[in-house]
Amino acid sequence: MPYDEKLAARIRALLSDVKDVSERKMMGGVCFMVQDRICCSASGKGGMLVRVGPDAQRLASSEPHVTPMQMGARTMKDFVRVTAEGYRTDTALKKWVKRGLDFVAAMPSKPPARKRASAKAAPKRVPMAR
């Protein structure tokens, strides 16, 4: 099932004024990344995924149209899945996107990325057994 393009466009519009936003196709949908961290997603399995954190997940899961996100047999501790009825209005969608933004903003800074070795680097020489 492809992700909901209309939902993705609505999320994109809400994030248009936010700095350091990018999109990445992953988890069967399109993820909206803020400072290289997943904020929310238009899911390929239907609905939207919102990163709320483990503490808020329990509270959010008790709300109508919200369940913890399942990936296979595993429950993802930071995410909830919101069905279409839960973000039907612009106000409701804005609330969920804000929750994702608030959680990402509260996360500690990432350490700088390590530089990768050049692909053109000479291969390591392995001594031959004699």
Query: Which domains can be identified in the chain, with CATH numbers?
Result: 5-106 (3.90.1150.30)
For 61-120, write each residue's pLDDT tens digit: 999 999 999 888 888 889 999 999 999 999 999 999 999 999 999 998 777 777 766 556
Closest CA to 33 of 112, 25, 116: 25
Average pLDDT over residues 16-22: 95
Closest CA to 52 of 94, 80, 14, 19: 80
Asked if 56 and 99 touch (Cβ cutoff 8 Å), the reply is yes
Total-model pTM? 0.81
